[in-house]
Amino acid sequence: MTKKRVYEVARELGVSSKEVLEALGELGMTGLRAVSTLSDEDAQLLQEFFREKGAPVVEAPPAPEPPPPPKPKGVPRPPVVAVLGHIDHGKTTLLDTIRKTRVAAGEAGGITQSIGAYQATFHGRAITFIDTPGHRAFTAMRARGAQITDIAVLVVAADDGVMAQTMEAIDHIKAAGVPMIVAINKMDKPGANKDRVVQDLAKLGFTPEEWGGSTIMVPLSALTGQGVDDLLEMILLVADMEGFSGDPDGELEAMVIESSLDPARGPLATVIVKNGTLRERDAIVVGSAYGRIRALLDHRGERLPAAPPGTPALVLGLSAVPPAGERVERVADPTEARRIAEARERAAVEARRGTRSPRTFEDLLQAAQTKKLVVVLKAATAGGLEAARHELGNLKADGVELEILHAGIGPVTESDVLLASAEQDMQPLIVGYAVRVEGKAARLAEARGVPVRTYDIIYDLALDVERALKRLLGPELREVKVGEAEVLKTFDIDGVGRVAGCSVRSGRVVRGAKVRAYRNGEEVFVGEIASLKRFADDVREVQAGRECGIRIRDWNSVQPGDVLEIYTVEEVPA
C-alpha cells in the first residue's frame, strides 16, 4: 500500500494543504498535519469528497473560466522568508539551490545581479527570500522596529546537530515572534543523524509534528536538492495558515532590507513592499533620505513599473543611503519629500546635542522605565554559562522580572549588540562572564548606547544584576510623621495669601515638609509647607509647645480649629 503525505495529496488534487486538512477534519480524521501520511484509500476518499464539492481535481475536465470577480481588498501576498542557522550548516547553499532551481531555471546567464532579495516560484506561487542569510542582518532590520520577515527557516546540519549559533538564531527568531520551520540539512552526508537533531530541538521545547508537536521539521539536502520542494511546500502551508495578505491599493508599507552606494548609479536601496504598491516616479522619504524613484529593478536587473505587496525591488533615485529597516513613505512631490527629510535631519542633530543614550551600567539603572530587566548573557565555556544562568535564575525581586533574552558561549559580538538594541520597549543589559568584548562590538555598543559589562568573578556578576533588579523596582516611599499643630487664628496678607497661626502640639513643624489638614476629623487637604515663621523671623523648624505662622502652598481655605499633621516622605531601598 502506497503512503503519501497530506501535502502531496493536496498537490495531486490541485488544492492547498490547508483545504485538505479541513476536509480530513470533516471526514472525521482529526489531528493530522501537512506532513502526515495517508493511504491510497484515504486519498481516494478525499478525491470523492472534493469532486462532490466541485473542487477542481486533476481528473475532472477543465470548467469554463468564469468572469474575473472584483479585486478584493487584502489579497494573499507572497510570504517573506529569512534563513538563519549556525555557520557552515548550509544556509547559503540552500538559498543558492532554491535560486537556481526556482528562479534562474532556463536563463542562459542565470541571475544578473544581487539585490539582497529574490522571489522563487513554486506551484505557481511566489515566495520572497531575503538573500542575507544569518541572524545579524535579520536582527539589524528588526532593531529599527521593522518586522520585515514573515517566516524564519532555521537550518540545522544533520551531521552536527544543534550548535552555539543555532541557539543564538533561535533566540533571535523568538524575539521576532515569527513562525519557524526547521530545515534539517545535509541528509546526504554519511554522518547524518536526523533523530539526534529532532531530540536536541525537542529538549529546547520544539516538538516535531510527527511526535504530536507543532514544529515543522523538513529533512533535506541543499547540495543535491532532495527535500527542498518539501520545504517550499511547508513555507506555503504556513503562509496559508497565517494568512499573509496585502492591499495593492492600500497605504504603502515598505521597508529597506539592504542599501549601498554605487559609483555609477548613486545610493541604492532594496525594499520589500508589505502593503500598497510602490511605483516608478513616486516621491518618497526614507528616514532622512528622499527622492523621486528613477527606476525599480528586480533581482534579474529587469525594470519593474510597480512593486505590489510581497515584492522586493531595488530603488534608484534617493539622495542618500538609508539604513536597513528604515520605512519607506510616499509623499505628494519631491519638494515635500525634501522638506520632511531635512526636518528629520535637523531634529536628529538637535537630539544628539541635547540628549544621550544610557552608555553605562549606572546610566541604564537611572533611565530604566520598565519593571523588566532583559539580559544578554555570554560566557567563555558551557560550564561557566550554566553557572551564570543558575546564579541569575536564583535572583528574585517582587514586582520586577528578569529575562535572559539570549545566552551563548564566546565573546560579546556585534550580533549580541544588535539583538540588544533591537528591543524597542526596553534596553537590555549585556553581561559577559570571563569573556572579552570584540572591538567592533564595543564600537557598535557605544554608538547605539547599549550597556556592556564583563566580569571575572561570577558573584560580582550576580550582585550587579541583583542591584539592577532592585533599582528597576524602585525605592519604597514611606511617610514619617514628625509633628502636629493646631490652627488658632488665620491672617490674610496681600500678595502672600492666608497664613495660619498655630500651636505646635507635638513633635515639630519643619519648613518644606508635607502637611495633611484635618477638619472635624476628616482630611480636607494634602500639601506642602511653603513658609514657616516664628514671630517676624523665617525659621527652619519650630518645636512642640511653641507658636508659629504657617503658610500652606496653594491652599487659602485653612480655618481655626484645623489640625495639621506634619510629615516627610523617605525613600527606603527595595
| pLDDT tens-digit series, residues 398-443 | 667 788 888 888 899 988 888 887 765 566 789 999 899 999 899 8
Residue 63 has what pLDDT?
44
> Do 568 and 505 share a structural domain?
yes
What pLDDT is attached to residue 573? Answer: 60
Judged against a pLDDT cut of 90, whether residue 500 lies above it is answered with yes
Flag whether 62 is in a domain: no
- Say whether pLDDT at 186 is over 90: yes
Highest mean pLDDT among 13-22, 280-289, 458-467: 280-289
Q: Taking a C-beta distance cutoff of 8 angstroms, is the pair 545, 528 a contact? A: no
pLDDT value at residue 110 = 38
Q: What pLDDT digit, counting tens, does each position of 534-558 carry?
A: 988 999 999 999 999 999 998 999 9
Q: Is there a domain that residue 64 lies in?
A: no
- Asked which of 245, 273, 308 is the last residue of a domain, the reply is 245
Residues 222 and 89 in one domain: yes
> Residue 470: its pLDDT value, please?
74
Answer with the one of 416, 451, 473 that is the final residue of a domain: 473
Residue 164, domain CATH: 3.40.50.300
- Looking at the fold, whether 138 and 235 belong to one and the same domain comes out as yes
Same domain membership, residue 398 and residue 292 = no
Weakest-pLDDT range from 216-230, 267-281, 505-519, 560-574: 560-574
> Do 101 and 216 have their domain in common?
yes
Do both 298 and 343 map to the same domain? yes
Domain count of the chain?
A: 5
Which pLDDT belongs to residue 247? 92
**Residue 67 domain flag:** no
Domain containing 503 equals 477-572
Q: Which three cell numbers stand for residue 417?
A: 549588540
In a domain, 451, yes or no: yes
Give pLDDT tens digits for 147-157: 688 999 999 99
- The rounded mean pLDDT for the chain is 82
Question: In this predicted structure, what is the pLDDT of residue 217?
Answer: 93
* pTM, entire model: 0.60
Using 50, 70 and 90 to split pLDDT, how confident is the model at 515?
very high
Mean pLDDT computed over 494-501: 91
**Domain contains 303:** yes
Question: Does residue 341 share a domain with residue 192?
Answer: no
* Among candidate residues 204, 221, 245, the one where a domain is terminated: 245
Confidence tier at 139 by pLDDT (50, 70, 90):
low
Contact indicator for 472, 373 with CB cutoff of 8 Å = yes
Give the β-pairing of 245-246 and 75-76.
Answer: antiparallel
Task: Provide the strand spans (E) within 136-265.
Answer: 151-157, 180-185, 216-219, 245-246, 253-262
Residue 132 reports pLDDT greater than 70: no
Q: List the single range of 49-53, 200-204, 255-259, 319-323 with lowest mean pLDDT.
A: 49-53
* Torsion angle of C-alpha atoms 403, 408, 412, 418, degrees rounded to 10: -60
Q: pLDDT tens, 37-83?
A: 777 777 778 777 777 765 444 444 444 555 555 544 678 999 999 88
DSSP per residue over 296-316, as a string? EE-TTS-B-SEE-TT-EEEEE
Same domain, 277 and 319: yes
Is residue 490 included in any domain, yes or no? yes
Arithmetic mean of pLDDT, 489-517: 93
The rounded Cα 416 to chain-centroid distance in angstroms is 14
User: Does some domain include residue 68?
Assistant: no
- Helix 414-421 to helix 439-448 angle (10° resolution) is 20
267-302 pLDDT, tens digit per residue, is 888 899 999 999 999 999 998 899 999 999 988 888
Q: What is the pLDDT of residue 109?
A: 39
Residues 197-226 have a mean pLDDT of: 88
The helix (run of H) or strand (run of E) holding residue 541 is strand 541-543
Q: Do 237 and 273 lie in a common domain?
A: no
Beta bridge partners of 409: 379
The domain spanning residue 553 has which CATH number?
A: 2.40.30.10
In a domain, 286, yes or no: yes
For the record, the C-alpha cell of 322 comes out as 538609508
Share of the chain residues as helix, strand and coil, in percent rounded to the nearest 5: 30, 35, 35
